[in-house]
Amino acid sequence: MELVDIRAQPLEMLAGLLEPERFELLMRTAARARELLAGRIVWNINSTASGGGVAEMLQTLLAYTRGAQVDTRWLVLDGDPRFFEITKAVHNSLHGSLEGRSGFDAADREHYQRVMAANAAQLHGMVRAGDIVLLHDPQTAGLAETLARLGAQVVWRCHIGRDQTNEITDLGWEFLCEHVTPAHRFVFSRASYAPAWLPPERVRVIQPSIDPFSTKNNALTEAEVRQVLLEVGLVHDGADPDHVQFQRRAGSRGVLLPRGGLLSNPPPHEDAPLVLQVSRWDRLKDMPGVLTGFAEHVAPYRPDAHLVLAGPDVSGVSDDPEGMQVWAECRAAWECLPDRERARCHLATLPMGDVDANALIVNALQRHATVVVQKSLEEGFGLTLTEAMWKGRAVVASAVGGLQDQVTEGVDGLLVKDPTDLATFGSLVTRLLADPALCAALGSRARERVRHDFLGDRHLTQWVELFADLDS
């Protein structure tokens, strides 16, 4: 297992964003946590230190937890390609999809258990009785029994799910059932995600949050946004870019290096209206559907607009073996577009070798976009939507999973009831492109919604309440 370095972030940073009474509640919660957890370690275990929403959220929450002087640590488990293929299939099944599989056989279960056993062996001598261990998602579920035997209090945190179960979701839960039941509590982003066989008194709902001061969400001026995107070649203005310096989360200064080859084709001009989706190359994010919806239902009506589909360089995401295949499918779909539409649609593969540089690029892209979309077929929560809303962007999202918990239709964004309805999706995007005043109004209310509901103080308070519940 890999121990991830966490740099403490003082809670006082949030003071300027919160009402005084809300900040006082946060400080009282921090004092309660120090008393409650004195002499104990809070461990988090997941499958990767970068490349996904869970990893980004852990960076934020654990930094603030350290800032509250609570001993919290982060481990990333070891797994081989087959393990991650199996757990990705389980992940997809909980969303109701099993691409290329009929289920899980004895060999899948045996391999999963073997990898879990090897990781569990490393925890002996590290985790002590009384410690709290948060296990994140299917990859870690098989550690619950060992940790419970060591005397730890175990919480399984599932970031994924589907409102309506079906035969496919049942297969995923059948795979996980024996592994998760030894945990003492179970945390989901929506109550509807919890399977009926879990004891309801041990189930909690805690929604994710973002850090407004992370490199991905920190404020950028228009000039800084422009400079970043010109530097990495995601837009152009006909001139040579300058080197960009930026503040890393750890406090040091970084230099954004010029990059080539991030886009599938020449970049749009900086003045072109931009529609953006940022996500992993995951079938459930439906990047091909966004591509087709834009080409067929936006481009004919807005010949000045461009689309960017931005995802990670798939070679840099170790726990998602499906990514390379989905990227190739998106590339093939892009190549099949008519020349005129293809010139206005761009696939961006963002570098993963420097996490802070990646975050800065995403930050600039989201702030530059006219409309940010998240047209997922299923979505556990969708932090990329939260991030865009925090930046005051007008958003169009599917009315599925946690996306519908973030957007109130017509108030702080627009929702597509059926994510496969590309004509409606296109008409909503076109409507926003044609109405700057509506974009501004939706964006302003979106930012306030995030400030009110999806910042880390609420998130941390709920976790401390859960820890107190474990001791009761």
Mean pLDDT of the chain: 92
State which residues form the domain around 125: 2-209+455-471
Same domain, 164 and 275: no
Closest Cα to residue 403, out of 378, 370, 440? 378
Q: What is the pLDDT of residues 442-458, one digit of tens each?
A: 999 999 999 999 999 99
If asked whether residues 195 and 240 sit together in one domain, one would say no
Cα 298 to Cα 426: distance, rounded to the nearest angstrom: 5
State residue 468's pLDDT score: 95
What's the confidence (pLDDT) of residue 313? 85
- Contact by Cβ (8 Å): 419, 286: yes
**Has residue 363 been placed in a domain?**
yes
Q: Is the pLDDT of residue 52 over 90?
A: no
Mean predicted confidence (pLDDT) in 186-212? 96
Check whether residue 103 and residue 237 sit in a common domain.
Answer: no
Residue range 274-293, pLDDT digits in tens: 999 999 998 899 999 999 99
Whether residues 6 and 97 fall in one domain: yes
Joined together, the tokens standing for residue 354 give 């420097």
Residue 319: the pLDDT is 55
Q: Is the pLDDT of residue 302 over 60?
A: yes
User: Is position 214 within any domain?
Assistant: no
Least Cα distance to 285 among 400, 163, 413 occurs for 400
Same domain for 42 and 174: yes
pLDDT for 366 equals 98
Query: Is 365 part of a structural domain of the chain?
Result: yes
| Predicted confidence (pLDDT) at residue 377 exceeds the cutoff of 90 | yes
pTM tops 0.85: yes
Higher pLDDT, 265 or 423: 423
174 and 284 in a single domain? The answer is no
State residue 260's pLDDT score.
55
Is the domain of 205 the same as that of 260? no
In a domain, 215, yes or no: no
What is the C-alpha separation between 219 and 116, in angstroms, rounded? 41
Residue 239's pLDDT is what?
61
**With bands split at pLDDT 50, 70 and 90, how would you rate the model's confidence at 126?**
very high
- What percentage of residues in the chain have a pLDDT greater than 70? 93
Q: Are residues 157 and 236 in the same domain?
A: no
Percent of the chain with pLDDT over 90: 81
pLDDT per position as a tens digit, 216-261: 999 999 999 999 999 899 998 766 555 566 666 656 666 565 555 6
Same domain, 39 and 135: yes
Residues 6+ apart with CB under 8 A from 392: 443, 444, 446, 447
Residue 308 sits in a domain whose CATH number is: 3.40.50.2000
Residues 196 and 231 in one domain: no
- Mean of pLDDT values over 402-425: 97
In a domain, 267, yes or no: yes
Task: Specify whether 37 is located in the same domain as 171.
Answer: yes
Same domain, 7 and 89: yes
- Segment among 75-84, 86-95, 135-144, 260-269 with least mean pLDDT: 260-269
216 domain-assigned: no
Per-residue confidence (pLDDT) for residue 471, from 0 to 100: 83
In-domain check, residue 87: yes
Give the bridge partners for 397, in sequence order: 374, 415
**Which of 13-17, 97-101, 407-411, 430-434 is predicted with the least confidence, judged by mean pLDDT?**
97-101
Quickly tell me which residue has 């087959």 as its tokens: 82
Task: Name the domain count of the chain.
Answer: 2
Do the domain assignments include residue 217?
Answer: no
The predicted structure's pLDDT at residue 101: 85
